[in-house]
Amino acid sequence: MTVLVAGASRGIGFEFARQYRADGRRVVATARDEEGLRKLQALGCETLPLDVTDAASVAGLGWRTDGEQFEVAIVNAGVYGPRTDGLQPPSQDDFDLVMRTNVLGPMRVLAALQESLPRGARVIVLSSAMGSIGQRAGASGWLYRASKAAANSVLKDASMVLGSRGVSCIAVHPGWVQTDMGGAGATLPPERSVADLRRLIANLTPEDNGRFYSHDGSTIPW
Ligand code: NDP
């Protein structure tokens, strides 16, 4: 089985690469700088440079993976942006960066990979419960929430297109994870979050296509 992890230099993405390698899987992992690529090579991953905000970089991912077949593709790269409370509009620059990374990024990556996903493949987009409109609790991180709600829409449409080819696409909430983004107070070690998510991925069936799951297997409303 070959696994692709897009955005694997640290945090949850790195942990996915580490655990799948420890399991003996072939892992193709991406990072946007040399340091990240070297860390992944030390795990035995094959590596590709990728910055999801750069169209040429994602086009490079497309041609480098042409002819590859990924049974699991994890679209992980993401940024949080300004840590606001309440209704503080972001600057234009913050808006552009967060939306380009969290929304345009998955659009580009999914489009580039679509011919590399065989029947039975699983596509996972790292979303967040903060992106759920049906289950809102607070308005911190206004821009991040909007970006993940939009990423959910991106995943849902991908599930319509790819589901008809036998590919299962889901959005996942990894929990509040102890990474740079999760910050102080995060409750879940990345090892646990990723172990949960790998179990969820392993047990996916075609009926799961187009759903939004928490790492613990519960369904989250869109
Ligand atoms: P981190 O901030 O720890 O890591 C983010 C990863 O995304 C890094 O590998 C980073 O690479 C990569 N990345 C950021 N921008 C780009 C880009 N333009 N192109 C390619 N890669 C990029 O975050 P986490 O590991 O915590 O989060 C991973 C995913 O899980 C994100 O999508 C996040 O929104 C989601 N999530 C996380 C939660 C948490 O509690 N931690 C909760 C809910 C969702 P680089 O090292 O180059 O910056």
- Looking at residue 87, what is its pLDDT? 93
**Ligand 1 atom with least separation from CA of 144:** 34
> 219 lies in a domain?
no
> 56 lies in a domain?
yes
Calculate how far, in angstroms, residue 3's C-alpha sits from the geometric centre of ligand 1: 18
CB 180 within 8 A of CB 130: no
The total number of structural domains in the chain stands at 1
Indicate the top mutation candidate among 18, 110, 181, 191 to test ligand 1's pocket, ranked by most ligand atoms within 8 A of CB: 181
Q: Dihedral sign for Cα 91, 98, 212, 111, please.
A: positive
> 221 lies in a domain?
no
Which segments of the chain have a pLDDT < 50? none
> 220 lies in a domain?
no
Burial label, 53 (beta-carbon count in 10 A; 0-12, 13-18, 19+) = middle
Distance of alpha carbon 48 from alpha carbon 65, whole angstroms: 9
* pTM (whole model) above 0.80: yes
CB 163 within 8 A of CB 209: yes
**Ligand 1 atom with least separation from CA of 101:** 18
Task: Tell me what ipTM this predicted complex has.
Answer: 0.99
Distance of alpha carbon 36 from alpha carbon 8, whole angstroms: 8
Calculate how far, in angstroms, residue 134's C-alpha sits from the geometric centre of ligand 1: 24
> 148 lies in a domain?
yes
Query: What Rg, from alpha-carbon coordinates, does the chain have?
Result: 16
Distance of alpha carbon 150 from alpha carbon 98, whole angstroms: 11
At residue 74, the 3 state secondary structure works out as strand
> 48 lies in a domain?
yes
Indicate the top mutation candidate among 4, 12, 172 to test ligand 1's pocket, ranked by most ligand atoms within 8 A of CB: 12
> 89 lies in a domain?
yes
Q: Name the maximum alpha-carbon separation found in the chain.
A: 47
Distance of alpha carbon 78 from alpha carbon 14, whole angstroms: 13
Of 101, 89, 157, residue with least CA distance to 126: 101
**Ligand 1 atom with least separation from CA of 36:** 46
CA distance readout (Å), 50 to 55, 97, 105, 221: 10, 16, 10, 31
- Looking at residue 138, what is its pLDDT? 79
CB 52 within 8 A of CB 109: yes
pLDDT digits (tens, 9 = 90+) for 175-206: 999 999 999 999 999 999 999 999 999 999 99
Locate 42 and state its tokens. Answer: 């030390």
φ, ψ of residue 118 to 5 degrees: the values are: -75, 165
Indicate the top mutation candidate among 130, 135, 155, 179 to test ligand 1's pocket, ranked by most ligand atoms within 8 A of CB: 179
Calculate how far, in angstroms, residue 11's C-alpha sits from the geometric centre of ligand 1: 7
Site residues for ligand 1, CB cut-off 6 Å: 7, 9-13, 31-33, 36, 50-53, 76-79, 101, 126, 128, 173-174, 176-177, 179-182, 186
Calculate how far, in angstroms, residue 180's C-alpha sits from the geometric centre of ligand 1: 8
Locate 124 and state its tokens. Answer: 């996972």
Q: Output the domain CATH number for residue 160.
A: 3.40.50.720
Query: The domain containing residue 13 runs over which residues?
Result: 2-214
Calculate how far, in angstroms, residue 47's C-alpha sits from the geometric centre of ligand 1: 17
- Looking at residue 194, what is its pLDDT? 99
